[in-house]
């Protein structure tokens, strides 16, 4: 089963994005006394400011983090490659969910890959989008059961790259990150 995230799946959070922006874009003087606290634009106890992120985007980030842990536990290179790639896909979907899908002039559109949308909503992640889009066919081959679709080295490299990508996404979204997972050496 393919667990691809399409633009239709990340469209729903856009309904509340305007309200979320309005709450975080106001100046501190315009905020009500009930608003201060971590996670809503005010400084956290550690002194870092966090942005408010929609629950659906947070769920995607948590799923991505869990997917990386699953990839680490996977014994087959193909399974590790698939899990790492899907984790990166979910992290990218979180960015698209928060930043909003770019609009086009036509009412009816074909579903678009998150890797196509990511450079439009967050240009700083364009190279990452191209990198992971290039690995989508290898992931599909691994999902189809081709055991030689990915070598142990490719799977380990992709796992490291997906971890780095998730950390960059968490930073871009103002979400506190986690320390990188310890990785086994290819062997």
Architecture of domain 47-102+110-173: Up-down Bundle (1.20)
When pLDDT is averaged across residues 143-158 and rounded to a whole number, the result is 93
pLDDT tens for residues 85-135? 999 999 999 999 998 876 665 666 677 899 999 999 999 999 999 999 999
For residue 106, the model assigns a pLDDT of 60
pTM comes to: 0.67
CA distance linking residue 35 with residue 52, whole number of Å: 12
Tell me what pLDDT residue 64 has: 97
Contact residues for 66 (Cβ-Cβ < 8 A; gap 6+): 87
Question: What burial letters (b/e) apply to 24-57, b meaning 16+ CB within 10 Å?
Answer: beeeeeeeeeeeeeeebbeeeeeeeebeebbebb
Query: Please, how many CA atoms are within 13 Å of residue 58, restricted to the half-sphere of its CB?
Result: 10
At CA 112, angle to CA 102 and CA 176, rounded to 5? 65
Mean pLDDT score of the chain: 75
Range 146-158 average pLDDT: 93
User: Which pLDDT tens digit goes with each residue over 64-90?
Assistant: 999 999 999 999 999 999 999 999 999
Q: What is the pLDDT of residue 96?
A: 94
Between 11-20, 47-56, 122-131, the lowest mean confidence (pLDDT) is in 11-20
Domain boundaries, the chain: 47-102+110-173
- With contact defined as beta carbons under 8 Å apart, do 164 and 131 qualify? no
> At 34, is the pLDDT very low, low, confident or very high (cuts 50, 70, 90)?
very low
Q: Yes or no: say if 113 and 187 are a contact pair by the CB < 8 Å rule.
A: no
């Amino acid at each position: 089963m393919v667990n691809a995230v399409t633009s239709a799946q990340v469209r729903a959070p856009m309904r509340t994005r305007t309200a979320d922006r309005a709450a975080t874009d106001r100046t501190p003087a315009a905020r009500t006394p009930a608003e201060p606290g971590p996670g809503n634009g005010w400084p956290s106890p550690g002194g870092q400011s966090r942005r408010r992120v929609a629950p659906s985007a947070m769920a995607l980030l948590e799923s991505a983090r869990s997917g990386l842990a699953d990839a680490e536990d996977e014994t087959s290179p193909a399974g590790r490659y698939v899990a790492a790639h899907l984790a990166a896909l979910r992290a990218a979907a979180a960015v698209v969910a928060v930043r909003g899908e770019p609009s086009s002039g036509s009412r009816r559109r074909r579903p678009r890959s998150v890797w196509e949308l990511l450079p439009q909503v967050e240009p700083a992640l364009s190279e990452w989008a191209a990198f992971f889009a290039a690995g989508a066919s290898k992931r599909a081959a691994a999902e189809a059961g081709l055991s030689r679709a990915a070598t142990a080295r490719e799977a380990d490299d992709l796992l490291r790259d997906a971890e780095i990508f998730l950390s960059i996404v968490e930073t871009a979204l103002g979400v506190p990150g986690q320390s990188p997972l310890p990785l086994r050496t290819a062997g």
